[in-house]
Amino acid sequence: MAKKNVNKKIRIPFNKPAIMGRELFYISSAVSGGQISGDGKFSKRCHSFIEKRFGAKKALLTTSCTSALEMAALLCGVSAGDEVIMPSFTFVSTANAFYARGVKPVFVDIRPDTLNIDEKKIERAITRRTKAIVPVHYAGVGCEMDTIMALAGKYKLYVVEDAAQAVDAKYKGRYLGTIGDLGAFSFHETKNCICGEGGALLINKERFIERAEIIREKGTNRAKFFRGEVDKYTWVDVGSSFLPSDILAAYLYAQFEKINDIRLKRKRIFEYYYANLKALQKEGLASLPFIPGYCRANYHMFYLILASGRQRDEVMRRLKDAGIYAIFHYVPLHTSKVGRSLGYKAGDFPVTEKISSRLLRLPFYNNLSRSQQGYIIDVLKSSVRAAM
Ligand SMILES: Cc1ncc(COP(=O)(O)O)c(C=O)c1O
């Protein structure tokens, strides 16, 4: 009997990690250099790259953006009973980093244009328990950071930017991740610059640096020891093992060397989708991503918002039948099991609910070819029309 292969028909995956330059050479150099644990020569190169290019005071590689967010939660000193403001339209780690420490995530609806937290709705969510605001730069497009930073100043709140998707993107000339007190990047294989699993914490305030190094090194002052500032290292604070192997840093550094090429490749892909799908927007069949003029995008993804959830699911099914793997996200956090246990219910955040049921993400990776894109566009257009 022939073996059943459910993926046999999928010819265009959603994501495909690419070697962009010297990744394999640097990995072998890390190994032959004799250090593949954390903070070897490639980690150091990555740190200074992030600090120089983006303008962070201090960068520390982490095992994921999730770990960077957890470090941020520890650095903000949150504790049980505190509240942290964030969108419900985000990945679970934005909330879990704080929720795991007894903090209540206080959700705010998103804007229908950028799909970022609606800055006009933040102030009314602030209480005397609020400790921080966590703006999530969806699709690498900046949240309204001027308003958010002004609110944080007024109410003395921390700002932790979830810039998982926003590496190399700017808001009013400043790189995302460097505007708040702390920023978190992701280098997961679906992101723009990758190393499989990885992230970075960007520390934009001097006073967090020493404690961040300790938290990242299992609660010890090992970083100081390696710099020769203390003669032994010991347990000084809470912490965990948040630093990645230098093998991953080697891969990542090779990607950083090609960051301008990566942006250019992704820009071309984004613009080709946009130019060829804008007819759908004109006809009122779907809406396309919106990037405010003062935001420099990193072209992290391309999505469409379809007219209904039924139509989105139907289009996704038709694409899959044609061998194209498109996906959706996020299940809004307020309607999840944990969200409901916190007292939230369907109907609380109408824009989030409407968008998340209709959003479709198209295949998007550095080496997606024009002919593949042409095929996706043709199938998509006919599917959207057929699914009316
Ligand atoms: C907004 C957001 N935050 C956090 C994360 C978690 O990133 P990582 O997989 O690097 O932990 C993701 C992952 O996609 C994300 O999209």
CATH number at residue 372: 3.90.1150.10
Mean pLDDT of 144-149: 98
Helices (H), the chain: 23-32, 41-54, 65-75, 92-99, 145-155, 209-216, 222-226, 246-257, 259-282, 309-321, 337-341, 350-358, 370-386
Q: Do strands 104-108 and 182-186 pair parallel, antiparallel, or not at all (unpaired)?
A: unpaired
The mean pLDDT value of the chain amounts to 96
In short, whether 163's Cβ falls inside 6 Å of ligand 1 is no
Q: Is the pLDDT of residue 4 over 70?
A: no
Please give the number of the atom of ligand 1 that sits closest to the Cα of 165.
Answer: 16
Q: Could you tell me if 211 and 292 lie in one domain?
A: no
Question: What pLDDT is stored for residue 101 in this prediction?
Answer: 97
Please give the number of the atom of ligand 1 that sits closest to the Cα of 190.
Answer: 14
Q: Could you tell me if 283 and 267 lie in one domain?
A: yes
Residue 210 lies in a domain: yes
Q: Is the pLDDT of residue 388 over 90?
A: no
Q: Could you tell me if 272 and 240 lie in one domain?
A: no
- The alpha carbon of 59 and the centre of ligand 1 are apart by a number of angstroms equal to 17
Q: Could you tell me if 166 and 72 lie in one domain?
A: yes
- The alpha carbon of 19 and the centre of ligand 1 are apart by a number of angstroms equal to 21
Mean pLDDT of 291-314: 97
pLDDT digits (tens, 9 = 90+) for 205-240: 999 999 999 999 999 999 999 999 999 999 999 999
Give 217's strand partners: 241
Q: Is the pLDDT of residue 255 over 80?
A: yes
pLDDT digits (tens, 9 = 90+) for 341-370: 999 999 999 999 999 999 999 999 999 999
Q: Is the pLDDT of residue 3 over 70?
A: no
Indicate the residue among 257, 287, 309 that finishes a domain: 257
Q: Could you tell me if 339 and 248 lie in one domain?
A: no
- The alpha carbon of 321 and the centre of ligand 1 are apart by a number of angstroms equal to 29
Q: How confident is the model at residue 247 (pLDDT cuts 50, 70, 90)?
A: very high
Three-state DSSP at 327 gives: strand
pLDDT digits (tens, 9 = 90+) for 20-68: 999 999 999 999 999 999 999 999 999 999 999 999 999 999 999 999 9
- The alpha carbon of 96 and the centre of ligand 1 are apart by a number of angstroms equal to 11
Mean pLDDT of 179-199: 98
**DSSP per-residue codes, 171-212:** ETTEETTSSSSEEEEE-BTTSSS--BS-EEEEE-SGGGHHHH
Q: Could you tell me if 208 and 277 lie in one domain?
A: no
Indicate the residue among 204, 232, 257 that finishes a domain: 257
How much of the chain exceeds pLDDT 90, in percent?
97
Q: Could you tell me if 248 and 274 lie in one domain?
A: no
Looking at the structure of the chain, the number of domains it has is 2
pLDDT digits (tens, 9 = 90+) for 72-89: 999 999 999 999 999 999
Q: Could you tell me if 56 and 103 lie in one domain?
A: yes
Lowest mean pLDDT among 9-13, 116-120, 242-246: 9-13
Q: Could you tell me if 324 and 290 lie in one domain?
A: yes
What is d(CA 354, CA 266) in angstroms, rounded to the nearest whole number? 27
Question: What pLDDT is stored for residue 318 in this prediction?
Answer: 97
Please give the number of the atom of ligand 1 that sits closest to the Cα of 199.
Answer: 10
- The alpha carbon of 198 and the centre of ligand 1 are apart by a number of angstroms equal to 10
- The alpha carbon of 44 and the centre of ligand 1 are apart by a number of angstroms equal to 23
Which residues form the domain of 109? 23-257
Question: What pLDDT is stored for residue 10 in this prediction?
Answer: 61
Question: What pLDDT is stored for residue 2 in this prediction?
Answer: 42
Residue 6 lies in a domain: no
In short, whether 138's Cβ falls inside 6 Å of ligand 1 is no
Question: Which of the listed residues 67, 89, 94, 186 should we mutate to test ligand 1's pocket, taking the one with most ligand atoms within 8 A of CB?
Answer: 186
Neighbours of 205 (CB within 10 A): 13
Question: What pLDDT is stored for residue 9 in this prediction?
Answer: 60
Mean pLDDT of 260-283: 97
In short, whether 117's Cβ falls inside 6 Å of ligand 1 is no
Indicate the residue among 257, 273, 304 that finishes a domain: 257
**Domain containing residue 212: CATH number:** 3.40.640.10
In short, whether 85's Cβ falls inside 6 Å of ligand 1 is no
Q: Could you tell me if 227 and 303 lie in one domain?
A: no
What is d(CA 254, CA 212) in angstroms, rounded to the nearest whole number? 26
